[in-house]
Amino acid sequence: MATTVERPAARGRTRRPAPGRPAPGGRAGRPESTTKRILYVLAAVLAVIVFVVPLIWAVLRAFQPNSVITAPAGLSALSKLGLGNFRGLTSEGHILRAVGNSLVVAVSTAILTTILATAAGYGLGRFRFRGANVAFALILVTLMIPFQAILTPLFLELNAMNLTNSRLGLVLFYSTVNLPFGVFVMRTAFASVPGALEEAARVDGAGTLRTFTDVLRPLVLPGMATTALYAFLAAWTEFLGALTFLTSENLYTLPVSLVNLQLGGYGQVNYGFLAAGAVIAMVPCVILFVALQRFYVEGMAAGGVKG
pTM greater than 0.75 (yes/no): yes
Structure letter (DSSP) for residue 47? H
Specify the 3-state DSSP secondary structure of 271: helix
Over residues 84-112, the pLDDT tens digits come to 888 888 776 678 889 999 999 999 999 99
Closest CA to 64 of 77, 48, 54: 77
List alpha helices for the chain, DSSP H. 31-62, 66-70, 84-91, 93-126, 132-143, 151-160, 167-191, 195-203, 208-210, 217-237, 240-245, 254-259, 271-291, 293-304
Over residues 223-269, the pLDDT tens digits come to 898 899 999 999 999 999 999 999 888 899 999 888 877 554 445 67
User: CB within 8 A of 232, min separation 6: which ones?
Assistant: 106, 107, 109, 110, 288
The 10 Å Cβ neighbour count of residue 22 is: 11
